[in-house]
Amino acid sequence: MLAMWLLGTPLPMATAQNESRYERQRWENIPRDALIERSSVESTRGPAGLRRFRWDFSRASDKDFGGWPDNWLRYDGPGYPNYVGIAIEARDAELENAVLPLDTAVLRPWQKLRTLYPKLPPLPPSMADFLVDRCLTIRLDGGLARVESPALPANPTFQYQFSVDVRTEGLIHDQVYAEIVFQDPEGNEVGIRETEHISKTTGWTTLVLKDLLPPRDCDRMYVRLRVSGGEDGLEDINGTVSFDNVMFRQFPQLKVATDKDLGVYLPGETVVVMSEMLGLSDEHTRLRLRLYDQHNRTLGTFSRAIDPVEETARLLTEEAEAEADAEIERLANGKAKAESVVSRDEALEATGVGLDDSSSLRYRWDLNDLKPGYYRVAASMENERGASLANETSFVVLGRITNDPAEFGDPSRTQESILGLPSLATFQSESDVIDPTPFGWTVPVPIMERHRRRKLTERELAKWMQLVGVGWAKLPVWFGPEEHDHADAAALLAFRLRDLGIQPIGLLDQPPEDRLFAYQLRDKSDTRVANLLRDESAWRPELEPLMNRMTTRIRLWQLGADEDQSFMGQSNMLETLEGISTGLQGFGQPIQTMIAWSWVDTPPATVGDSWRGLHRHSPSPLTAVEMDAMLDREVKAREEAVMAGGVAPARLPATWLTINPISKRKYDLESRISDLVLRMAATRGHRVDAAFLSAPMDEDAAVLAPDGRPDELLLPFRTTSLLLGHRTNAGSLRLQNGSDNIVFRGDDESVLMVWADTPTVEHLYLGEDVYEVDVWGHRKPVPLMEHEGRRVQRLTVNRVPKFYVGIDQSLADFRMSVRLDRTRIDSLLGLQQPLGVRFRNPINQSLSGEMAVVAPNSWRLDEAAKPWDLLPNESNQVNFGVTLENNATIGSYQLPLDFRFETLPPTVIRVHRTMSIGPDGFDIRVTTRLIDGDLGGRMRVKIEMVNHTNRLTNFDCLLFAGRERQYERRVLVLPPRETVERNIDWPNGRKLIGTRMWLRAIEQDGNRVINHSFDAQP
C-alpha cells in the first residue's frame, strides 16, 4: 500500500519544497474579499459607485521603505536573472536630491515638538513623499524582466479600462508591454490581454487597453509588466525601462450583438439586435442604438430612457410572472401548491435600493427588410452627469449575386449517414469531384478554438465559410500527441467543408508551446517549420498519432505559415520534403504538401511525388500590376526551361498566393476594396490554383472583426470570389471613355468587371439579360436604352469595380477581335489613303452584316458602309478609302466602328479604336506659357518639330490667334534626324488665355499640310 502511494501523486510537501518563492506567493489562495486589502493599491469610488484601482509607486505603495512595491512579485524563472536591477526610483532625481536635505533638517525640531505633543508620529511628514513623483524602474544587465502586481477582484458584470505609463531608454531589441491576466477562484488563468509593444528610446507614453471584459468564470485579475526579447531572438545588454500609474477603471458593461454569433444573414431574414447593460448604478440612463450602412449613413435609431426604480420593478414582475407560470405548470402536474403572484404595484413597493451589481437589463430591436450590405449597430449609454459608454457590433446581409440555386447551399442535398460521417470509400470517391472557388483563408485560431470548444459546430462553421465565399480553408491543426479529440474534431470539420465544396488544408505551423521541448531544437528561439521537422525521430512520435486520424480526411497539407520560408535555400530540399511527407503520412492515406516561397527568389523547376508546390508570399502586398508582372515572368522562365529540355511540363509546381488586404490605417476604404478586388481578379489570368487571406481576423485587414463578426472587406471578398472564382480572364474591351475593364469567361455566364480612376459613364450593348452587382452584393438589372440610334446599356463607372453578369460572350469576343491595320494616317490633305478593319467570327455558325466607320467631319470615306460575311471562326478585313479634308487637324481620335448583324431583330454594336493623324516621319508639339506677367504679359508659343526621316525638310508655319489678331509666320528648317524649336511671342498675352489657337504647317516641296489646334494656357 505504501509503495503504491509513493508511486502515485507526488507528496504535497515535496511539491511545496520544489516551488520557488514566486510560485508560492503567486499561487497563494487569498479570499476574494481580502484582495484589495492585500494589494497595496489605491482604491477609490466615483460618483456612480464605480471603482478605480491605481498603483503610483508612491510611499503608500512602499510602506516598509524597501524600494519595492508592497506585495508585488518578481518572476525569477530561466532568462529572468535576479541581478537585473528593479526598484522604485524618483522620476526626477535632481528634485529628490534637492528635497531630501529639507527632510533631514526637520528631524531635530520634530523631536522637540514631540515632547510637547507626544501623540505625534516618530518621524515627521516627508517633503520628498509629497513633492517627488516615483516610478518602478528596471535597469537591464543582459537579462529580461517580469514584474507582477497583487491580484484585484474582477467582476464579469463590469468592463474595465487599463492604462500604464511607460518610458524606455537605450533599447534596441527588447520589447516593453503590459499583460492583464484573468484568473478563476482556483488561480487558473482563463484569459490574457496585452498592450501594444514599445521599444527603442521613448518618452513617457501611456499604453491603454479599453473594453477589458473578464471571462465569465473569472473573479480576479493582475498585471504583468514585461521586458521581453525582440522577435529576432536578440536581447539588449543595457537599457532602462520605467513604469508608473498602473491603473484600472471600472465601467458598466454595455453589450450589443445580434442573434447570429458570426453575423451573416440571408436575404429576407430578420436581424435581431440584443443590447444588454450590466453593472448599472441607480442613476437615470439613456440607451441609444444606431444602425449604419457601409457608407456610414444612419438608417435607423432605437432609444430608451432607463429609470432604475421602474426597471427594478419590471425585473421583479417578470421574475414573479415566470415563477407563477412555473408554479401553475407544477400544479397542473399535481406537484405543488399555488402561491401568490407579485403584482406590479407590489413590485414597486418592494424596490429598495434599485439596481445592483448583478442587475442585467436587456432590450431587443428587430431589423426587417434590410438590403444586402455591411451594417454596424452602435450602442451608447449616457447618464445625467454626461458620462457615456459605447460599444458596437456588425453584421452583413447577403445578396443573391449569381443565378446558381446552390449559392446559399444546395437545396437538393439531404443525404446523411447515421453517424454524420461517410465511409472511407465515399470520401475517396468524393474528394476528386469538388470544384472550389480558388479563393480561401487561413481559418483564424480563435475561430478554430470556438469550434473545438463546441461553441461552433463543424456544420455551422462550414456553412458560414461557404456563405462568405471561402473555397479553400487552411486549418491550423498542430496539436499535442494526446489531443486526439482535437484531431478528430479537425477531421470532422474537414469532411463538412469538402461536403460543401470547400477544399480543406491541414496547416502545420506551430506546435503547442508546452510541447516545443520534444522537438529537440538546436536554437530554442527558431521555431520555424524546417527546424521543427529537422529530426524525424523527434517529431514523428509527436505527430504520427494525430496524422493517422486526420490524413483520412485531409489530403493536402502546408508545412509552415505563409511567411515561413525556412525550406528555401536547402541543398537537398526535394529529398527532405519527400521524407517529411512520407513520415507525416504514417499509416494514413497518401498526402501532398506545400511550402512557402518568396516572390523575389527563383522557384524550383520541378516538384516531387508528394511535394505539390509553392505558396508565394511577400511581406508587403503586391499590387495587381506587380502580381501580373511576377506571374508573367515566371511563365516565361518556365517556358524557357521547357524549351531548353530541362523541365517536363507535367511536373511544374502548383502555385498559391497571398492576397492580404492593404493596411486599414494607411488607406481609405475605396482604395482597400479596389486593391483587393483587382488582385483577386489578377489571379484569374494565370495558372494560380488558390489565393489566400492569411490573417482575415487581423484588425488592419478589416475582413473579420476580432470577435469573428464581419468587417468592411468581407462582402467585397465574397462578391469577387463567387463572381470570378470559376471564370477566367478573356481580355479587355476598349471603351469610349477609357474605363478599365476585364472580361471573365465562364461555362454558363460571363462577367464584365469595370472601374475607372475618375468617375465616368460608358454606353455599350452587352446583351439582353445583363444585371449589375456591386461589391456589397446589391444586384439590379441593367435596362436597355436608346443612345445615338443604338440599343445600349448605361454603365456608371467609378473607382470601386462593378460587375456586369450575363454579358453576351460572343459579342465580347467579337469586340476584342476588331483591329485596325494601322494606327496612324499621314496628314496628306486631299489624297485618298487606305484604312482596313479586321475582325473575327467567334462562334460556330456563319455571321453576316454591315460595317460603317463613323468618321469625323473632316474625313471623307469612299463608302459610308460595307457588307461583310464570315464563316464560323473565320477572320476578315473590310477596307475603306479615307481622304482628309483641308480642315483636318492632327491628333488622336477615338474612331467609332459600327457593326450591324443580320439577326432577328438586327443587332448593332459600336466599337471604338484609337487612330491618330500626323505627318509620316514627323512629330509636332506646341506648348504655351505666360511671361512678363507684370507688364500685361506676353504669351509665348513654343513650336517643336522632330524630323525622324533622313532628308532635309522645310515647313512654312502660320499661327492664328483668333480673328482679332494678325497671324504670325515662321519657317522651320528641319535637318535629318534633328529637333527644331521656334518661339512666337504675342503681346497682351493675358487676354489670349483660353483662346483657341490654330497652327498650320505647310511642307515646302511636299504634299503635307499639318493643322493643329490648341488652347492657350498660362
Asked if the bond preceding 987 is cis, omega within 30° of 0, the reply is: no
Q: How confident is the model at residue 358 (pLDDT cuts 50, 70, 90)?
A: low
pLDDT of residue 159: 87
Say yes or no to pLDDT of 339 above 70: no
Say yes or no to pLDDT of 350 above 60: no
- Give the start-end residues of each E strand in 443-571: 472-476, 503-508, 556-559
Q: How confident is the model at residue 666 (pLDDT cuts 50, 70, 90)?
A: very high
Which of the residue ranges 45-59, 233-247, 614-628, 902-916 would you say has the lowest mean pLDDT?
Answer: 45-59
pLDDT of residue 721: 97
HSE-CB at 792 with a 13 A cutoff on CA atoms is: 16
Q: How confident is the model at residue 348 (pLDDT cuts 50, 70, 90)?
A: very low
Q: Are 91 and 99 in contact (CB under 8 A)?
A: no
pLDDT of residue 723: 97
Q: What percent of the chain has pLDDT over 90?
A: 54
Q: How confident is the model at residue 21 (pLDDT cuts 50, 70, 90)?
A: low
Q: How confident is the model at residue 147 (pLDDT cuts 50, 70, 90)?
A: very high
Which residue in this structure is represented by grid cell 509588466?
225
Q: What is the pLDDT of residues 199-211, one digit of tens each?
A: 899 999 999 998 8
Alpha carbon distance 522, 525 (integer Å): 9
Q: What is the pLDDT of residues 93-116, one digit of tens each?
A: 777 777 777 767 777 777 777 777
pLDDT of residue 1: 34
Say yes or no to pLDDT of 162 above 60: yes
What is the average per-residue pLDDT within 340-350? 41
Which of the residue ranges 55-69, 744-758, 904-918 would you say has the lowest mean pLDDT?
Answer: 55-69
Say yes or no to pLDDT of 496 above 50: yes
pLDDT of residue 604: 82
Say yes or no to pLDDT of 412 above 70: no
Q: How confident is the model at residue 617 (pLDDT cuts 50, 70, 90)?
A: very high
Q: Return the C-alpha cell found at 532.
A: 521543427
E strand or H helix at 340? none
What is the average per-residue pLDDT within 527-543? 91
Q: Which residues contact 729 (CB under 8 A, 6 or more apart)?
A: 681, 684, 685, 742, 743, 744, 745
Alpha carbon distance 976, 939 (integer Å): 30
Which of the residue ranges 418-422, 879-883, 968-972 would you say has the lowest mean pLDDT?
Answer: 418-422
Say yes or no to pLDDT of 444 above 50: yes
Alpha carbon distance 868, 817 (integer Å): 15
Strand, helix or coil at 467?
helix
What is the average per-residue pLDDT within 131-157? 89
Alpha carbon distance 377, 131 (integer Å): 48
Say yes or no to pLDDT of 251 above 70: yes
Say yes or no to pLDDT of 387 above 90: no
Q: Are 453 and 460 in contact (CB under 8 A)?
A: no
Say yes or no to pLDDT of 43 above 60: yes
Q: How confident is the model at residue 647 (pLDDT cuts 50, 70, 90)?
A: low
Which of the residue ranges 342-346, 589-593, 692-696, 797-801 would you say has the lowest mean pLDDT?
Answer: 342-346
Say yes or no to pLDDT of 18 above 60: no
Alpha carbon distance 91, 73 (integer Å): 22
Q: What is the pLDDT of residues 451-483, one digit of tens each?
A: 998 899 999 999 999 999 999 999 999 999 999
pLDDT of residue 217: 87
What is the average per-residue pLDDT within 756-766? 96
pLDDT of residue 280: 72
pLDDT of residue 341: 41
Say yes or no to pLDDT of 702 above 90: yes
Q: What is the mean pLDDT of the chain?
A: 85
Alpha carbon distance 282, 263 (integer Å): 33
Say yes or no to pLDDT of 235 above 80: yes
> Nearest-CA neighbor of 87 among 134, 53, 21, 154?
134
pLDDT of residue 340: 38
Exposure b/e, 119-157, CB count within 10 A at least 16 = b: eeeeeeeebbeeebebbbbbbbeebbbbbbbbbbbbbbb
What is the average per-residue pLDDT within 302-310? 79
Please return the burial class of 938, using the count of CB atoms within 10 Å of its CB with bins 0-12, 13-18 and 19+. middle
HSE-CB at 448 with a 13 A cutoff on CA atoms is: 22
> Nearest-CA neighbor of 692 among 788, 617, 600, 642?
617
